[in-house]
Amino acid sequence: MAFKGYFKQIEQGEVVDFERVIEFVGNHWQLVGAFAGALGAWFVYETRKQGETVSPQQLVQHVNQSNALVIDLRDPKDYRQGHITGARNIPYADLKDKVGELQSKKEEPVILVCGLGQYAGAAGKMLHQIGFKKVLRLSGGVNAWSSQGLPLVKAKS
């Protein structure tokens, strides 16, 4: 198998020269083509999401400096177990029905937060289409927030 030689060189710390890379591409063009196609599909998928991503630190800056509204898209049960201070819970499934409650915030920054960041893109697209000017998404969602040791508020029972 051709891979063994490449990996052995890398493990020994040798530099793989460009001719070897070209040889690999020529010998494994299907694999390289599949990788390029997957990379292209991922790029298209990511660009169709609406809203710039922000880090947890940038979220704090937006809230403190521009009074951004933080919307937590998770289910109420997850929200009660721990949410970002000041976040408003509007589950993703209910967003279409409750968007009227947010009309007064169209000109202000809105930061969308979910568990891992998977729903925030679609929610951002929806809000952008109905006229929200500045829609942002927390990169990595609440998991990224808590993994950086930032506080979560538990709802009172």
Tell me which residues are annotated as active site: 114
d(CA 87, CA 75): 13
DSSP H helices, 49-140, are 56-66, 76-81, 95-98, 120-129
- 71-99 in b/e form (b: 16+ CB < 10 A) is bbbbbeebbeeebbeebbbbbbeebeeee
Residue 13 DSSP symbol: T
Q: Which two tokens stand for residue 92?
A: 């993703």
Cα radius of gyration rounded to whole Å, the chain: 22
